[in-house]
Amino acid sequence: MDTTISPMYKLLSIHEHPLLPSAMFIVGKCDGCRRSIITLPILSILSCSLRWLQRKRVIDSFSYICLKCGFIVSVFCVGLPHIINTNRHDHRVAFMHHLGRKGAKCGVCRESLSQYYGAYSCSICPKYVVHLQCAVDFNLWNGVELEGIPETSEDIVPFKVVGDNLIRHFMHEKHILLLLKDYDMVGDDYERVRCEACVSQIGLFGLVYSCQECRFFLHEKCAHLPMKKNLVFNPTPYMLEYQGKAVYCYLCGLFETNPLIPLYLITQSQKDLFVLLIL
């Protein structure tokens, strides 16, 4: 039997069988995102009354169908990326054909997801899932397909472990930091000692790292702040950096005058946009 696939068909990751583009009149639901589909021949869509529906993504000039099992998918879902980052979650999310479990809610809009339809899910956080249309909103996603691009922990870890409770942190690379067991190891003046990252008292947030050669202290929580962070303000990840100068936060409208405080930074169109350190 000839197993060659006709050029008219498309093998797409959204479905296991070849899909055929169809301009037939179809009214139904997309088996990918569950969005309503109304497919009309291209000439019909040229009428003014139907162009409004097309802009609202209620109507398409064609859709894709599977002649083997009746699967129908919209043009929107055919072009979905496989693996992406969104600014609502710290890990990558991957496309899956069927959610396969009941009671899940979208991590973006908080609405329910059907177990029978496609979604994006996080392999690290099993309960985190997102509607297809929510995940690829360009207010959340930067448009980058991450399939085939390895994700390494070195991209986000701000320090290197050099021994038991010992780290070399990017904020203080010249000396090694020791995780202290209690505040008595700081000295009698520990209530006046402040974290070099958030400038809060070291006694406020649990354990601290201390430099044994100079008076440099970091909350354990601050020491673990990732070098790269997804923040809701922009679909592009922010980077944790030192600027060594006073900077202006474009979100809260405040100046940070301490040049030693690390800030989350994103560069867009030759302009640096800063976000003050968020704990």
Q: How many CB atoms lie within 10 A of CB 45?
A: 18
pLDDT (tens digit per residue) in 42-91: 544 444 444 444 444 444 556 788 888 877 777 777 778 889 999 999 88
The residue with greater pLDDT, 144 or 24, is: 144
Range in 22-36, 118-132, 139-153 the model is least confident about: 22-36
pLDDT band at 199 (very low <50, low <70, confident <90, very high): confident
Average pLDDT of 15-44?
68
Rounded-to-integer distance, Cα 55 and Cα 36, Å: 14
Rounded-to-integer distance, Cα 37 and Cα 160, Å: 52
Most confidently predicted of 24-28, 64-68, 123-127: 123-127
Q: From residue 115, how far is each of 100, 102, 128 by CA, in Å?
A: 5, 6, 14
Q: How many CB atoms lie within 10 A of CB 203?
A: 13
pLDDT (tens digit per residue) in 172-193: 889 999 998 776 666 667 677 8
In this prediction, residue 62 carries a pLDDT of 64
The residue with greater pLDDT, 97 or 124, is: 124
What is the CA 139 to chain-centroid distance, rounded? 11
In this prediction, residue 184 carries a pLDDT of 65
Judged against a pLDDT cut of 90, whether residue 162 lies above it is answered with yes
Rounded-to-integer distance, Cα 102 and Cα 176, Å: 49
3-state secondary structure the chain: CCCCCCCCCECCCCCCCCEEEECCCEEEECCCCCCEEEECCHHHHCCHHHHHHHHCCCEECCEEECCCCCCEECHHHHCCCCEECECCCCCCEEEECCCCCCCCEECCCCCECCCCCCEEECCCCCCCEECHHHHCCCCCECCCCCCCCCCCHHHCCCEEEEECCEEEECCCCCCCEEECCCHHHCCCCHHHCECCCCCCEHHHCCCEEEECCCCCEEEHHHHCCCCEECCCCCCCCEEEECCCCCEEECCCCCEECCCCCCEEEEEECCEEEEECCCC
Q: From residue 210, how far is each of 140, 172, 244, 262 by CA, in Å?
A: 38, 10, 22, 17
Rounded-to-integer distance, Cα 79 and Cα 210, Å: 51
Average of per-residue pLDDT values in the chain: 75
Judged against a pLDDT cut of 80, whether residue 131 lies above it is answered with yes
In this prediction, residue 8 carries a pLDDT of 40
pLDDT band at 150 (very low <50, low <70, confident <90, very high): confident
The residue with greater pLDDT, 19 or 266, is: 19
pTM: 0.66
Judged against a pLDDT cut of 70, whether residue 38 lies above it is answered with no
Give the amino acid at 174: K
Question: Could you give phi then psi for residue 141, rounded to 5 degrees?
Answer: -115, 140
The residue with greater pLDDT, 105 or 244, is: 105
Backbone dihedral region for residue 260 (phi beyond 0: left; psi -120 to 50: alpha; all else: beta): alpha
How much of the chain, in percent, has pLDDT values that exceed 90? 18
